[in-house]
Structure 1
Amino acid sequence: MNSTEKEISYTATNSYSTLNTLSNQTKNIWFVCHGMGYLSRYFLRYFSSLSPEENYVIAPQAQSKYYIAPKMKHVGASWLTKENTLKETENVMRYFDAIFNTEKITPDKNLMLLGYSQGVSVVMRYMAKRQLSCQRLIIHSGGIPKELTPKDFEYLNLKTKVNLVYGTQDEYLDHNRIEQEELKAKALFGDRLSLHPFEGKHEVNSSLIKVFSE
């Protein structure tokens, strides 16, 4: 068998979802990356309790869609796998660039970055690669990319806050994994980091998100 894997570039189209209206009254612009198995339009429901006048939410859509087992009826999506991760990450970064260019996010608003579960890896990589200045980074129930170092975040100003959020009964994060993620987060962000464990499983904590918006 004489097979060869080749590579091409082409233009692709993808959707993203928004909640509320960007206006002069908007205080916070949220860029929120969903976990595996979500679609962006459904992920927005976790942000519905935020003040609509003060919060504008942008939820990008992971490009790789699939039918969710076992019934294979509902559709979910995934950001990255271990297959060709570097190239796929570049594709995600360019997609995020397109969203930021389209939405014309201005520095007079608070930029709030949130990654949930698998979404943590893409939002943190994008933040580091593009050196995004933000008011707050929320690392929610996901793994911090191993390649990131404190140097990647030296550009952040003193006002940037980082929140590490996880459920104490999270079925995907045992005690050792939580301890490792805390150590990695402390190494990357130092005193700007605060920890927010909550009683619950692998689920989005809308109550804490509302607190972070205030």
Structure 2
Amino acid sequence: MHINEKEVSYSTINSYSTLNNLTPNTKTVWLVFHGIGYLSRYFIRLFDSFNKEENFFIAPQAPSKFYKGENYRSVGSSWLTKENTKTETKNVLQYVDAIMTEENIPEHTKLVVLGYSQGVSIASRWVASRKIHCDALVMVSGGFPKELQKENFSFLTTKTKIVHILGEKDPYFEIEKVEAEKIRVQQILPQIEFRTHSGGHELDPKTLHELF
């Protein structure tokens, strides 16, 4: 048996969700990446408590969708797997580029890039690879990509707010591994601030309100 695995390039279409309107009164644009199992239109609802005149939210949609549960009614999605990760990452980042081109964010607004759970891997890779001078990079309950090093973020200044938020009852993180990871990430992003909330593996809007 002789199997060849080949590649082909083609155009595709993917959706994304926005919350509120981008107007001259908008002060902050949020680019928010959901975790595994979400759809962007549901994830973006978590930010509904923010001031609607001053905040505009963009939630990209992970391209790989799947049925959740045994009844095949609910749909979730995933950004990446261990399969063909390098190419899939390239595809996803180009999709994010297309979104930002389409939205044409004004220069006077602040930009917050946020990743939740699996979305942390996309948020951090996009900022690093595109050298995005964002005002804040927020990582919530997610692992930092192993391949990223300090030099990948050398373009950022100390004015960039970098925060990692973790639930104290998050079942996916063991305290020993968390402490070791904190040391590694702090070497890469020296100005990072570590925050916790009393919940589990979830995005806590209250913690975000305290930061912004």
Q: TM-score, normalised by structure 1?
A: 0.96
CA shift at 1:70, angstroms? 3.3
Q: Is the 8 A contact 1:136 1:160 kept in 2?
A: yes
**Cα RMSD, aligned residues only:** 1.0
Give the whole-Å Cα distance in 2 for the aligned partners of 1:65 and 1:112.
Answer: 26
Letter in structure 2 aligned against 1:93: L
The alignment partner of 1:32 has SS state of strand
Tell me which residue corresponds to 1:82. Answer: 82
Give the whole-Å Cα distance in 1 for the aligned partners of 2:75 and 2:166.
Answer: 25
CA shift at 1:103, angstroms? 0.6
Tell me which residue corresponds to 1:204. Answer: 203
Tell me which residue corresponds to 1:24. Answer: 24
Give the whole-Å Cα distance in 1 for the aligned partners of 2:186 and 2:70.
Answer: 39
CA displacement, residues 66-107 of structure 1 (integer Å, 9 cap, x when unaligned): 001233220000000000000000000100010010011232
Give the whole-Å Cα distance in 2 for the aligned partners of 1:137 and 1:10.
Answer: 32
Tell me which residue corresponds to 2:173. Answer: 173
CA shift at 1:9, angstroms? 0.3
Give the whole-Å Cα distance in 2 for the aligned partners of 1:177 and 1:14.
Answer: 36
Alignment of 1:1-214 (within 5 A): 1-190=1-190, 192-213=191-212
Give the whole-Å Cα distance in 2 for the aligned partners of 1:157 and 1:23.
Answer: 28
Letter in structure 1 aligned against 2:3: S
Structure 2: where are the runs of 5+ without partners? none
Give the whole-Å Cα distance in 2 for the aligned partners of 1:181 and 1:139.
Answer: 13
CA shift at 1:163, angstroms? 0.7
Q: Is the 8 A contact 1:47 1:209 kept in 2?
A: no
Letter in structure 1 aligned against 2:15: S
The alignment partner of 1:93 has SS state of helix
The alignment partner of 1:11 has SS state of coil
Displacement over 6 Å in runs of 4+: none
Q: Percent identity?
A: 45
Letter in structure 2 aligned against 1:102: E
Give the whole-Å Cα distance in 2 for the aligned partners of 1:184 and 1:140.
Answer: 17
Structure 1: where are the runs of 5+ without partners? none
Q: Is the 8 A contact 1:37 1:78 kept in 2?
A: yes
